[in-house]
Each structure stands twice: as structure tokens, then as C-alpha cells.
């Protein structure tokens, strides 16, 4: 099968509402960029691209679900779409069970033994596994990626080199930064070890990111306050600690963390509210502050509304493209 499929470059886009498609790189080159305003308010029934991979048709995409399953698909298996097409629903493409959702997606050339996967669950469990252990995830139904305790869910997975630092951010505003050396490689069908402990009742992990000195950690509160901080501001500790305060929250527990992302200057994020509003903003417009600072207002919320989550926006050529004049 693979011998008859040309090994060519393509772009995989996955939208916030869960639609996936593959477009040939050559389809992008025949377009030129047109101008477009950045900041707007709209309802997020209007979808946007949240993940973008440039890949070769013979590469693999790994999909990790909240139930701990890992599915690997060849890029050429992803339905091909045109500039205007919506794509296919990820849940039908992978045949996910009722209530099963994608927790993370990674693109890899092959199952190289020098790379690792680090996973985090809501309950603060982290697990590191060698990427080579997932070679058979291409089979129908995928493979068990992590064994979850009752009531726990996988919330994220990152690809590491063995030399990276990891940061976990919690719902109640704590952050733990540790070296991945603290995690030893474990088999796929194991539970993992404690990555973060919680000192506040009702707390859980909200995000996992790889620390990159070029990037900043953006943390947003439910009331629309947020900040961008260098990763170095979060003290490097051993895995399993309660961490340090990542963002100040009211003591009465009325406001919690809506989300955390690793962001870079030049990027954009979408702020999604409980009442269905979406505000698109440039990362550079969010002031960079130290860890101890309160943060700045990211958006003005309507009465009774709250920030639900933040998502990275990937600008694709097709969203801003206009045809050449003839």
C-alpha cells in the first residue's frame, strides 16, 4: 500500500471543534496572503484551527484520548480536504467511544527509541514511556497508553528528548517545574508516578507543557485576568511537590485557572468563554510579568460570564488567502 503512495509534504489541520483534514503543501503555494484583522469577537460555533502539523504522507500522527488510549495513524490515512472543506470529525475517523475525547496529538516521523512521551493526568500522575513502545498503536482500536486509576483522566502528553524540563499547572493556580530525569521510562500499561501533589481541596492538573527558554507560560484566570511569564521564574524542584504559586487567585476560591499554554511572540491565542464568545488576541499584547505579579485583563467579560479555556491559534495560508489577480 505504502509503496504506491508518494512521500510528499502535506499540512494537517485540526480544528477546535474536532475536525481534521490533510492538504497538500502545493495547494498552499498557489495562494498569496491577504490582510485580515486580528482581534474580533464572535461566537465559537465558527470554528478555528487549533493544531497544525507539517508532515510527510509517510509520517505518523499519535492521538491520545482522555481514557488513556493511544491511536497511531499514517498521515496518508487522514482524509484529504480542499481549502474550503471542513474535514472529517476526529471521533468518527478514530471510532472513539461515547464521551471519549482527544487529550493530545503528536506528529512523529517514526517510533524512534531516543524520544519519549511524558503524560499527565488530572490527578497529578505523570508517566514517561519510550516512543518505541508505541510501534503497534497503528492497529485497530489503538493501544493502552497509560493505566488510569478510577475517576482519573489523561489530560495531556508531550514529546521529549530525555533532557527536557516539564511544567504542570493546576486549577487552583499552582505550578510544578521539574526535570524529566526525575521520571524513569515505564511500560505502556502502567499507572505512572506522582508528578504533582495538591495542598488545596478540589485541585487538579490543568495543563502540561515542555519548558522552552524561547517561549513564555501564559496562564489565564476564569475572570479574564492573565499573564505571560518566563519558565525560569518557576523554581526547578523535584517531581511530586506541591509547587509554587503560578497566578494569584482570590482566597475564597471563587476564581480558578481557566487554562495555561506555552506561547511565543508572534503567536495568537483564542479566549473562549462559558457563554460562547471567542476573543482572538496577539500574544505580544499580553504583558510579560514576573511570577509574583497579578496579571493583566485579557478580555472584558459580560455579567455572569467566565473564561472557560484558552487555545493556541495556528494561522494557515488558507484562512488569509486570496486568489491571484488574473
Structural contact between residues 23 and 84, judged by C-beta atoms closer than 8 angstroms:
no
3-class state of residue 302 by DSSP: coil
pLDDT tens digit string along 314-324?
Answer: 655 444 443 33
Cell of 175: 505550578
Cell of 156: 495531556
Structural contact between residues 184 and 239, judged by C-beta atoms closer than 8 angstroms:
no
Residue 121, φ and ψ in degrees, nearest 5: -110, 165
Q: Tell which wins on pLDDT, 37 or 29.
A: 29
What does the mean pLDDT of the chain come to?
A: 85
pLDDT tens digit string along 7-18?
Answer: 778 888 888 888
Domains of the chain in start order, with CATH, are 2-322 (2.120.10.90)
Closest CA to 79 of 34, 124, 23, 35: 23
Residue 36 pLDDT > 70, yes or no? no
Q: With residue 13 as reference, give the H or E element that holds it.
A: strand 9-15
Amino acid at each position: 500500500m505504502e509503496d504506491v503512495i508518494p512521500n510528499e509534504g502535506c499540512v494537517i489541520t485540526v480544528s477546535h471543534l474536532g475536525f481534521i483534514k490533510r492538504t497538500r503543501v502545493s495547494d498552499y503555494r498557489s495562494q498569496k496572503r491577504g490582510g485580515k484583522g486580528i482581534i474580533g469577537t464572535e461566537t465559537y460555533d465558527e470554528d478555528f484551527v487549533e493544531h497544525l502539523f507539517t508532515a510527510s504522507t509517510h509520517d505518523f500522527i499519535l492521538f491520545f484520548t482522555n481514557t488513556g488510549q493511544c491511536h497511531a495513524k499514517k498521515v496518508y490515512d487522514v482524509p484529504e480536504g480542499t481549502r474550503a472543506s471542513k474535514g472529517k470529525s476526529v471521533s468518527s475517523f478514530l471510532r472513539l467511544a461515547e464521551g471519549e475525547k482527544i487529550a493530545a496529538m503528536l506528529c512523529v516521523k517514526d517510533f524512534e527509541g531516543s524520544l519519549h512521551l511524558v503524560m499527565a493526568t488530572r490527578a497529578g500522575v505523570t508517566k514517561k514511556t519510550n516512543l518505541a513502545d508505541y510501534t503497534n498503536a497503528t492497529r485497530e482500536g489503538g493501544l493502552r497508553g497509560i493505566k488510569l486509576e478510577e475517576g482519573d483522566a489523561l489530560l495531556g502528553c508531550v514529546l521529549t528528548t530525555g533532557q527536557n524540563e516539564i511544567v504542570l499547572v493546576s486549577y487552583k493556580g499552582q505550578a510544578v517545574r521539574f526535570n524529566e530525569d526525575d521520571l524513569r521510562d515505564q511500560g505502556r500499561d502502567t499507572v505512572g508516578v506522582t508528578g504533582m501533589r495538591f495542598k488545596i481541596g478540589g485541585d487538579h492538573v490543568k495543563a502540561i507543557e515542555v519548558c522552552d527558554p524561547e517561549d513564555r507560560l501564559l496562564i489565564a484566570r476564569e475572570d479574564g485576568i492573565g499573564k505571560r511569564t518566563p519558565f525560569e521564574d518557576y523554581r526547578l524542584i523535584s517531581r511530586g511537590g506541591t509547587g509554587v504559586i503560578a497566578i494569584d487567585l482570590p482566597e475564597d476560591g471563587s476564581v480558578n485557572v481557566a487554562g495555561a499554554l506555552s506561547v511565543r511572540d508572534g503567536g495568537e491565542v483564542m479566549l473562549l468563554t462559558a457563554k460562547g464568545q471567542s476573543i482572538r488576541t496577539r500574544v505580544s499584547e499580553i504583558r510579560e510579568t514576573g511570577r509574583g505579579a497579578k496579571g493583566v485583563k485579557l478580555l472584558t467579560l459580560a455579567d455572569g460570564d467566565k473564561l472557560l479555556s484558552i487555545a493556541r491559534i495556528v494561522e494557515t495560508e488558507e484562512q488569509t488567502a486570496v486568489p491571484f489577480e488574473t
